[in-house]
Chains A and B, each alone.
Chain A
Amino acid sequence: MVRALEALDVGSVADKINLIPQDFFAELCEQIIQHLNHKIPGINTAELCQRIQTSGVEINVGDLAKIATIISFLFSTAARNNLSTEELVTTLGNAVSALPKHAVQVIRHVWNEQGESISVSEDARNMATVGQFVDIKWKLGVAMSSDTCRSLKYPYVTVTLKVADPSGQITDRSFEMTIPQFKNFFRQFKEMAAVLETV
């Protein structure tokens, strides 16, 4: 595991982790372990990053996502190897000397509280090829005019899907549908429901 951590270059993110205030880092680790425990569908990296930035810390979503991926790997590998809290902390210390003390404390605490309940099967990785649907937001609009047509008057639906990608990061995906497309979309989901019921 030490080798794996070294390969992941945890050291490079150590100084980024150092920037994050302890309570935000704790929140991140909480979300990660809850995601691994299937309590939540994904990790809200973008939202968390925005709050960290508002508190005055300069960190971008990419960096936070990288940190999340590494911590997630850390926890899932530790689960697979059935590491105790002390073993985890020791291994971490051997691999990453530059990890800030408050971060180690958070990792120790979170693992201690919830690490035992993670059950990781060998095939876990293969499962995650599709994203998870989390939520949907919508709005209905009418395009009135355009530069090529004064009288467009065409209604359309804009939909934003909140999805958790295989790594657990939550992102938004938006797209438009015309009325006929929407009706087809709706019909397909009704069919899906019917099939799911009968299976």
Chain B
Amino acid sequence: MAAPEQPPPEGSKPLSGLLGGIAQAAYYGNADITEELLRGQLYPETAPEEFHALRAKMGGLLQSIASADMDLNQLDAFLTAQTKKQGGITSDQAAVIAKFWKNHRMKIHESLINQSRWDNFLKNMNWRVDLKSQSRHIDQINTPVAIVEMELGKKGQESEFLCLEFDEAKVSQMLKKLSEIEESMTLLTQTT
């Protein structure tokens, strides 16, 4: 067997691209980004097995970082430890990873959140206000009502449209309850 090749050039562009490609496949649901594609585009001089090892290492690091949703302090400590390890990363690589995470953290975290939303959620909402011109009861004529259409559904499934009528009293009732939710939410963000 030939002597091992020199490690691939560690210019920030290829590694950054690699991390992007890994994220595309793992977090943004892009199945077209294969290992072969990445190697050809970013590391054409690297042998397949070596590239495979690099991709696996970087993928593992990114997964650890994303799973812990690391803030800058945690990230710094983590990456520093990785540079000190046997078979770890270089400080140049650490810098590229840190920059990548700073730019993509929110989007990756959101994607992870979405991966665990399995219940019905509110996809969209529209409304209009009608004037009731006909009614079963004479006293309801010319009262304004809000017609609300809510699009509900589970991730990746067909939506269900819920169409509801609210008169002024019902809207007040709703607002009261929504205020309660908002209050609870404020308390929650204050204590965490």
Query: Which residues of A are interface residues toward B (Cβ below 8 A)?
Result: 38, 119-121, 123-124, 126-127, 129-133, 135-136, 138, 140, 142-143, 146-155, 157-158, 161, 163, 173-179, 181-182, 184-186, 188-190, 192-193, 195-197, 199
- State the Cβ distance, A187 to closest chain B Cβ, in Å: 10
Cβ of B1 within 8 Å of any chain A Cβ, yes or no, is no
Cβ of B168 within 8 Å of any chain A Cβ, yes or no, is yes
Cβ of B8 within 8 Å of any chain A Cβ, yes or no, is no
- Is B122 a contact of A175 with CB atoms below 8 Å? yes
Binding site secondary structure of chain A: mixed
A-B contact count (CB 8 A): 150
Cβ contacts under 8 Å, B185 to chain A: 140, 155, 157, 179, 182
Known: A175-B121, A193-B168. A140 touches B152 (CB 8 A): no
Partner among B112, B122, B136, B174 whose Cβ is within 8 Å of the Cβ of A148: B112
- State the Cβ distance, A168 to closest chain B Cβ, in Å: 13
Cβ of B78 within 8 Å of any chain A Cβ, yes or no, is no
10 pairs of A and B residues whose beta carbons are closest in the complex: A199-B144, A149-B112, A146-B116, A175-B120, A151-B69, A176-B121, A130-B163, A150-B67, A192-B146, A130-B165
B106-159 at interface with A (beta carbon < 8 Å): 109, 112-113, 115-117, 119-122, 125, 127, 129, 131, 134-137, 144-148, 150, 152
**Inter-chain pairs besides A133-B165, A152-B69, A181-B121, 8 sampled, C-beta below 8 Å:** A121-B136, A136-B173, A142-B188, A155-B185, A155-B189, A174-B119, A176-B119, A190-B175
Cβ contacts under 8 Å, B3 to chain A: none
Cβ contacts under 8 Å, A155 to chain B: 185, 188-189
Partner among B113, B115, B162, B175 whose Cβ is within 8 Å of the Cβ of A189: B175
Cβ contacts under 8 Å, A185 to chain B: 122, 125, 178
Q: How many residues of B contact A (CB 8 A)?
A: 52
Closest chain A residue to B167, Cβ basis: A196
Cβ contacts under 8 Å, A152 to chain B: 69, 112-113, 116
- State the Cβ distance, A55 to closest chain B Cβ, in Å: 33
Partner among B171, B181, B188 whose Cβ is within 8 Å of the Cβ of A138: B181
Cβ contacts under 8 Å, B145 to chain A: 196
- State the Cβ distance, B81 to closest chain A Cβ, in Å: 18
Cβ contacts under 8 Å, B178 to chain A: 182, 185-186, 189
B73-90 at interface with A (beta carbon < 8 Å): none
- Is B122 a contact of A177 with CB atoms below 8 Å? yes
Cβ contacts under 8 Å, A178 to chain B: 113, 121
Greatest chain B CB density within 10 A among A133, A151, A163 is at A133
- Is A127 a contact of B152 with CB atoms below 8 Å? no
